[in-house]
Amino acid sequence: MITRLEVDGVPALLAPADGPMHAGLVFRVGTADETLPRRGLTRLVEHLVTDEPGSTGAEHTYFHTRGTPGEIADYLSTVCAALRNPPADRIAEVRDRIAHTRERDPLPMWRYGARAYGVASYPEWALPGLTDEQVREWIAGYFTRANAALWVAGDTIPDGLRLDLPDGTRRPAPTSVTVLPATPAWFTGPDGAVGWDSVVRRDAAAAVFATVLERRLQDELCDRAAVADRARTEYEPRADGTARVLATVEPTTGRADGALGGLVDVLAALRAGRIDPDEVGAVVKLTGEGLRDAECRGARLPGQAFNLLAGRPVQTLDEALAEVRAVTADDVAGVAAVAYGSGLLMVPGGGGADWAGYTAAPTMSETVLEGRTHRGRGDRNLRLISGARGISVVEGDVVGTVRYDTCAAVLAWPDGARQLIGEDAVMARVEPTLYRDAEQVVRDVDEWIPARLRIDMPPRDRDRIPQPRPATDRVEPAADSRRPLITLIAAGMATLFVVAGGLGVLTMMLTQRPGDTGLLAGLGEYGLVAAASILFGTFAGRIAVDAAVELRRQQAERRAARPD
C-alpha cells in the first residue's frame, strides 16, 4: 500500500517492502531538456554531487541508495546539500572522468532531429567547456524542491532526512516533434546494427505488445532462423501520455541482412493481426506476476514518483493489475498496427528497406539558399552558398542547408572550420581550405550565430584539416576531340550546299520560259535541288555555330576549375 507524504516541501511516496530499506530522490530533468551546447550538463551535475551517482534518462534524473535508515538519510541529505552548494573545485576532475563513457542510441536523432529527445543521440561535445556558472544555472532551473519527488521503500521516513533544496518551479516535460516527413521510415545505422522504434499511446496494451514483440523476435530470429544472437525490447513511458517501444537485434556474424528481414517479417505479421491469444494470455499472466513482485520489493515506487512529477495519478497495485488483465489479443493487434505505422527502422550499412514499403528518412536538405557562391578549390562539384538566412553546402547532388534561425549548434575549430547543425539534424560544414574566399563565410557565421549556440572544439592535427586535391590527382573532363572535326565538316557542308543552292537559283533564272507563273514554276529538277540545298546549308551552319559555342564553354569551365 503506497502512502503519499511530504518531506521538506517535496512530495513523497512511502510503501513497505521486503529486504533492506531503499529510497530515491528524482528530478524532472533529463537529456531531452538539454540543448547541444549544454549536452552532458545533467550527467555532470549527477556525478558532481555524489560519489555514488544516480541515473540520467530522457526525462528524469534520480539518486538511489539502500541501507539502514541512517545511511539513507545521510546520503540523500548530502546530495541535497551539494545541489545547494555544488563543489566547483571538482568540476574539471568529474568532466575528465565521465568523458566518453556513454553509449549513444542513433534512433532518436533520426526521429526528432537535434533537439529534445533527439539530443541523446549526439556526443557530449560541450562537456569539456562546461563551467561552474552553467552548473549553477542548471541546478537553479531543474534541481529544485518544486521539481523533485521522493520515494522510500520501508516502514517509515528515515529520521534526520533533510531535503534542503533550492526553491523553484515544476518543469514540464519536453515537447516531442518529429522531423520525419513520412513513416514507416528507415535509415542506415552503424555497420551490422539492426533496430526499430515507434511511439504509441501509453497504456497496458502497449506494454504487453512490447513483451509479445520480444518473445516473437527471440523465437523467430534467435531460436529458429539463428540469424541473431539476442533480441530485446524496451517499453519507455513518457510524461506526455505516449510511450516509446524500442527493439534491438544483435545479428549473428555475417547474418545482418537476415536479421533485418526477420525483424521486418515479425513486425508485418503483428501488424496484420497474426497474434496468438494464448501468447497474449501468457504475457498478461507474467506481467501481473512481475507487478506483484515489484510491489513487494518497492520497485513500483520510482515509476509512481515519475507519475507525481508528470501530474498523473499514483496507481495502486490493484488498479495496475486490472488494467493489465483487461488486455486482449485484439488490443495488442491495434497497438501493433499503430506502432508499425509510426515505425523507424535502422538497417545495416549498405542496405535499405524500400522493398518492405518503408520510406528512406531524409539525409539532406531539399532547398539551396540564395547568397554568394564560393566555388570549391579544384573541385567543380563543391559549392558553398552563404546568405543572410544561412548557408548551403552543395557537393554534386547532395545538399546540406542550415538556416540561422533554426540552427541548434555550431562547432568551432581554432583553424577556422565551422560545422552548423540544424534542428532537423542536417549539417553544413565550412572548411575554409576547400573553398575560395571562405574566410568571409566564417566571419558571417560567427556574426549571425548567437554565442550560446557555439561549441568550441579542440585544435585539430594538421593531417586532419582537409586540403584541396592536387591538380595531378584531379581527373579533368576530357575535351571532346570530335568537336573541332564536327565543326569543320558542318562548315564545309554548309558552304557546299549554299553554293549548290545559288547555282540552282541561277539556272532557274536562265531557263524560265515566257508565260511561266510563280517562283517555282520553271525550276524543274534544278530548282528542287536549289531549295533543298539552301535548307540543308542553313541547318549545317547552325550545327557549326553551336559546336563552336560549346567548345568555348568547356574551355572556360576548365580554366575556372584550376587551383589558385
Angle at the Cα of 112 from the Cα atoms of 344 and 416, rounded to 5 degrees: 120
Q: Do 389 and 340 sit in the same domain of this protein?
A: no
* Cα distance between residue 6 and residue 298, in whole Å: 18
Query: Which cell numbers hold the place of 348?
Result: 545495416
Is residue 543 scored above 50 in pLDDT? no
Q: Do 220 and 144 sit in the same domain of this protein?
A: no
Q: Under a CB-based contact definition with an 8 Å cutoff, are residues 55 and 61 in contact?
A: yes
- DSSP tag of 463: G
Residue pointed to by grid coordinates 552548494: 85
Q: Report CA dihedral (342, 347, 352, 353) to the nearest 10 degrees.
A: -40
* Cα distance between residue 424 and residue 363, in whole Å: 10
Q: What is the DSSP string of 155-204?
A: SSPPTT----PPP--PPPPPPP----SSSSEEEE-STT-EEEEEEEE-SH
Q: Do 190 and 322 sit in the same domain of this protein?
A: yes
Mean pLDDT of 532-544: 48
Is residue 254 scored above 90 in pLDDT? yes
Is residue 227 scored above 90 in pLDDT? yes
Q: Do 293 and 398 sit in the same domain of this protein?
A: no
For the whole prediction, is pTM greater than 0.85? no
- DSSP tag of 327: -
Q: Do 321 and 412 sit in the same domain of this protein?
A: no
* Cα distance between residue 223 and residue 111, in whole Å: 31
pLDDT score for 546:
55
* Cα distance between residue 560 and residue 91, in whole Å: 53
Question: How would you class 35 by CB atoms within 10 Å of its CB: exposed for 0-12, middle for 13-18, buried for 19 or more?
Answer: middle
Identify which of 57, 67, 3, 5 has the alpha carbon closest to the alpha carbon of residue 34: 57
- Parent domain of 203: 185-360
Q: Do 543 and 451 sit in the same domain of this protein?
A: no
**Which region holds residue 413: left if phi is over 0, alpha if psi is between -120 and 50, else beta?**
beta
The residues near 263 (Cβ < 8 Å, ≥ 6 apart) are 194, 196, 217, 221, 247, 249, 345
Is residue 169 scored above 80 in pLDDT? yes
Across-strand partners of 395? 382, 398
Identify whether 127 is part of a domain.
Answer: yes
Is residue 489 scored above 60 in pLDDT? no
Q: Do 405 and 443 sit in the same domain of this protein?
A: yes
Q: What is the DSSP string of 70-134?
A: HHHHHHHHHHHHHHHS--GGGHHHHHHHHTT-----SHHHHHH-SSGGGGGGS--TTGGG--HHH
Residue finishing a domain among 339, 360, 381: 360
Identify whether 380 is part of a domain.
Answer: yes
Query: Which cell numbers hold the place of 277?
Result: 491469444
* Cα distance between residue 411 and residue 442, in whole Å: 12
Q: Looking at residue 464, which CATH number applies to its domain?
A: 2.30.29
Q: Looking at residue 127, which CATH number applies to its domain?
A: 3.30.830.10
Is residue 59 scored above 80 in pLDDT? yes
Question: How would you class 199 by CB atoms within 10 Å of its CB: exposed for 0-12, middle for 13-18, buried for 19 or more?
Answer: buried
Count of domains for the chain = 4
* Cα distance between residue 193 and residue 22, in whole Å: 37
Mean pLDDT of 418-436: 96
- DSSP tag of 220: I
pLDDT band at residue 415 using 50, 70 and 90 as cut-offs: very high
Identify whether 87 is part of a domain.
Answer: yes
Q: Do 206 and 340 sit in the same domain of this protein?
A: yes
3-state secondary structure 368-401: CCCCEEEEECCEEEEEEEECCCEEEEEECCEEEE
* Cα distance between residue 34 and residue 409, in whole Å: 12
pLDDT score for 99:
86
* Cα distance between residue 280 and residue 227, in whole Å: 25
Residue finishing a domain among 298, 329, 360: 360
pLDDT score for 85:
94
Furthest C-alpha separation in the chain = 134
Identify whether 167 is part of a domain.
Answer: no
- How distant, in Å, are the alpha carbons of 306, 324, 384 from that of 327? 24, 6, 56
Question: How would you class 86 by CB atoms within 10 Å of its CB: exposed for 0-12, middle for 13-18, buried for 19 or more?
Answer: buried
Q: Do 504 and 459 sit in the same domain of this protein?
A: no
* Cα distance between residue 523 and residue 520, in whole Å: 5
- DSSP tag of 432: G
Distance of CA 418 to the CA centre of its chain: 19
Identify whether 367 is part of a domain.
Answer: no
H or E element in which residue 422 lies:
strand 418-422
Mean pLDDT value across the chain:
87
Query: Which cell numbers hold the place of 188?
Result: 542506415
Identify which of 153, 148, 149 has the alpha carbon closest to the alpha carbon of residue 299: 153
pLDDT score for 192:
84
Q: Under a CB-based contact definition with an 8 Å cutoff, are residues 176 and 224 in contact?
A: no
Residue finishing a domain among 306, 335, 360: 360
Give percent of the chain above pLDDT 70. 83
Q: Do 282 and 429 sit in the same domain of this protein?
A: no
Least confident of 96-100, 243-247, 289-293: 96-100
* Cα distance between residue 368 and residue 415, in whole Å: 26
Q: Do 486 and 467 sit in the same domain of this protein?
A: no
pLDDT score for 341:
98
Identify whether 160 is part of a domain.
Answer: no
Residue 315's CB is within 10 A of a number of other CB atoms, namely 17
Identify whether 396 is part of a domain.
Answer: yes
The end-to-end CA distance of the chain, in Å, is: 78
Is residue 373 scored above 70 in pLDDT? yes
Phi/psi of residue 73, nearest 5 degrees: -65, -40
Identify which of 52, 55, 89 has the alpha carbon closest to the alpha carbon of residue 72: 52
Q: Do 341 and 419 sit in the same domain of this protein?
A: no
pLDDT score for 355:
95
Which of the two residues, 339 and 503, has the higher pLDDT score? Answer: 339
Identify whether 110 is part of a domain.
Answer: no
Is residue 358 scored above 70 in pLDDT? yes
pLDDT tens, position by position, 14-35: 999 999 999 999 999 999 999 9
pLDDT score for 103:
77
Identify which of 478, 479, 480, 473 has the alpha carbon closest to the alpha carbon of residue 377: 473
Is residue 487 scored above 70 in pLDDT? no
Q: Under a CB-based contact definition with an 8 Å cutoff, are residues 80 and 54 in contact?
A: no
**From the CA atom positions of the chain, what is the Rg in Å?**
35
Across-strand partners of 199? 244
pLDDT score for 351:
80
Phi/psi of residue 301, nearest 5 degrees: -65, -45
SS3 544: helix
Residue 555's CB is within 10 A of a number of other CB atoms, namely 10
Identify which of 132, 138, 36, 155 has the alpha carbon closest to the alpha carbon of residue 411: 36
pLDDT band at residue 514 using 50, 70 and 90 as cut-offs: very low
pLDDT tens, position by position, 275-316: 999 999 999 999 999 999 999 999 999 999 999 999 999 999
* Cα distance between residue 23 and residue 14, in whole Å: 9
